[in-house]
């Protein structure tokens, strides 16, 4: 049975809420699912904006045909060719060979690479327009958000922006189509941040360009390809995107990430957390790097201003899961953070030096003026070093308040 909701006059959501996939892109856990948003416009001409992941094509086609109700499909606008949005194109074209497919030049290259075929094509560039009758559309390319080829499409008649991956989120909608139908701060923000930081986080400068361009457009509604639609309080999500894409900490928080083979480095991390909280700063989170999927750690690294890394020495280097996290921070362009280091080693502590080598690959990273190095377990001297590190954290946190 079809599952469709109206967005505004003439426009319908016909996407799919996926609770079946465990790993998005076969990397990122999505315990609360994800939605693939697709939209249909009914005007003098009809238009489809993007499709859904192949696995959910049957339900999507049922929705499409229900909304079209026997009408031809004049246009298919593909804003983003990643298969979570474009994979069902071929099935749509089998049923609607009358459709003209609209995309960027690079988008059509990618279409061919993925093995899709479309005979009727309209290649568009930034500034090109389309009329479907009552509705007028303008196209704007948004390279590297999050692939090189995407564009956004603005309905200049009613201010609806089909924003591709921008302003998207992990988590299935489950009936709540609009951000104003949920408690976004409480129930969605962490998954929106985890989506942005891990999927688009590397490309902050490109997102900043999109935000600058968007500020000049008459946008009233944001229709992303994942997550809820924004028709109210757009400033909230625009502000989050501005912070994330400029690598500005969202909160004056401290994350303590530890790896621990026998519990001693974990103990040091917990001692540090207690010392910081005792000094009056309570936005402190503690993470076991071996137990936590890296996407959650990256998300928290974007949220906070201070990152404390505690690692045993392993093969004379960094504990492997910690090394993975640090390398992911480099890959996703994490920057402008203050870092503290705790190293542990039983005969040749060296993880601190090796962690610094990776951190030094990131932009504008600052070190606290205290570090901790201990042998095997925290003794009296180690406890004093942890207290000194807590003092340094508090001093730095106060400066950033």
CA nearest to 343, candidates 318, 364, 363, 326? 318
Which range binds ligand FEO by CB under 6 A, 82-90, 280-288, 331-339, 358-366?
82-90
Least Å from the CB of residue 42 to ligand FEO: 25
Query: Given candidates 146, 194, 306, 337, which one binds ligand FEO under the rule CB under 6 A?
Result: 146
Cα separation of 238 and 283, whole Å? 24
Taking contact as CB under 6 A, which single stretch among the options 65-73, 80-88, 127-135, 343-351 is the one that binds ligand FEO? 80-88
Task: Using CB under 6 A, pick the residue from 10, 18, 43, 84 that binds ligand FEO.
Answer: 84
How far apart are CB 352 and ligand FEO at their closest, in Å?
37
Instruction: Report phi then psi at 259, rounded to 5.
Output: -115, 145
Provide the total of helices (H) and of strands (E) in the chain, helices listed first. Answer: 12, 23
For residue 289, how many other CB atoms are within 10 A of its CB?
Answer: 24
Does residue 18 belong to the site contacting ligand FEO (CB under 6 A)?
no
Selected range binding ligand FEO among 78-86, 92-100, 251-259, 391-399, rule: CB under 6 A:
78-86
What are the C-alpha distances in Å from 208 to residues 241, 246, 250, 285?
8, 7, 16, 29
Closest approach of ligand FEO to the CB of residue 241, in Å: 15
CB of 174 to ligand FEO, least distance (A): 18
- For position 165 contacting ligand FEO by CB under 6 A, the verdict is yes
Q: What is the dihedral of CA 45, 46, 47, 52, to 10 degrees?
A: -170
Give the nearer residue to ligand FEO in terms of CB position, either 146 or 337: 146
C-alpha dist (Å) from residue 166 to 206, 282, 360, 380, 397: 11, 32, 30, 50, 31
Q: Are 308 and 396 in contact (CB under 8 A)?
A: no
> Per-residue x/- mask for ligand FEO, residues 98 to 137, rule CB under 6 A?
----------------------------------------
Nearest Cα residue to 157 out of 123, 126, 139, 133 = 133
Using rule CB under 6 A, residue 191 touches ligand FEO: no
Residue from 96, 194, 226, 323 touching ligand FEO (CB under 6 A): that is 226
DSSP percent split of the chain into helix, strand, coil, nearest 5: 35, 25, 40
Q: Which is nearer to ligand FEO, 107 or 352 (CB)?
A: 107
Q: In angstroms, rounded to a whole number, what is the distance separating the alpha carbons of residues 258 and 249?
A: 21
203 DSSP 8-state letter: G
**Contact (Cβ atoms closer than 8 angstroms) between residue 113 and residue 88:** no
The residue among 196 and 287 lying less far from ligand FEO, judged by its C-beta, is 196
Candidate residues 28, 45, 80, 194; the one interacting with ligand FEO per rule CB under 6 A: 80
Q: Name the one range near ligand FEO by CB under 6 A: 43-51, 66-74, 79-87, 241-249.
A: 79-87
Give the residue, chosen from 28, 45, 85, 171, that forms a contact with ligand FEO under the rule CB under 6 A: 85
Footprint of ligand FEO on this chain (CB under 6 A)? 80, 82, 84-85, 146-147, 165, 225-226
């Amino acid at each position: 049975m079809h599952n469709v909701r109206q967005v505004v006059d003439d426009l319908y959501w016909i996407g799919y809420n996926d609770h079946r996939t465990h790993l998005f892109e076969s990397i990122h856990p999505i315990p609360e699912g994800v939605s693939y948003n697709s939209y249909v416009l009914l005007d003098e001409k009809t238009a489809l904006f993007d499709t859904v992941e192949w696995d959910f094509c049957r339900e999507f086609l049922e929705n499409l045909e229900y909304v079209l109700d026997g009408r031809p499909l004049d246009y298919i606008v593909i804003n983003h060719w990643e298969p979570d949005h474009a994979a069902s194109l071929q099935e749509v074209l089998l049923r609607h060979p009358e459709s003209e497919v609209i995309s960027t030049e690079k988008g059509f290259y990618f279409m061919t690479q993925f093995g899709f075929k479309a005979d009727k094509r309209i290649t568009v560039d930034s500034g090109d327009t389309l009329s479907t009758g009552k509705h007028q559309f303008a196209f704007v390319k948004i390279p590297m958000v999050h692939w090189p080829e995407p564009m956004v499409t603005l309905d200049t008649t009613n201010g609806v922006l089909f924003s591709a991956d921008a302003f998207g989120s992990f988590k299935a909608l489950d009936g709540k189509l609009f951000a104003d139908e949920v408690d976004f701060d409480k129930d969605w923000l962490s998954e929106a941040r985890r989506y942005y930081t891990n999927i688009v986080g590397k490309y902050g400068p490109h997102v900043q360009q999109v935000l600058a361009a968007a500020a000049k457009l008459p946008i009233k509604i944001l229709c992303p390809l994942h997550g809820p639609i924004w028709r109210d309080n757009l400033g909230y999500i625009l502000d989050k995107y501005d912070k994330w894409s400029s690598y500005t900490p969202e909160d004056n928080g401290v994350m303590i990430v530890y790896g621990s083979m026998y519990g001693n480095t974990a103990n040091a991390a917990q001692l540090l957390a207690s010392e910081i909280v005792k000094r009056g700063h309570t936005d402190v989170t503690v993470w076991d790097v071996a137990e936590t999927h890296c996407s959650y750690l990256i998300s928290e690294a974007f949220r906070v201003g201070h990152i404390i890394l505690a690692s045993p020495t392993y093969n004379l280097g960094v504990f492997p899961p910690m090394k993975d996290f640090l390398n992911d921070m480099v890959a996703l362009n994490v920057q402008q953070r203050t870092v503290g280091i705790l190293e542990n080693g039983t005969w040749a502590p060296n993880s601190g030096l090796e962690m610094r080598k990776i951190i030094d690959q990131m932009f504008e990273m600052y070190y606290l003026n205290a570090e901790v190095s201990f042998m095997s377990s925290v003794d009296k001297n180690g406890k004093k070093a942890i207290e000194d590190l807590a003092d340094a954290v508090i001093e730095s946190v106060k400066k950033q308040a």
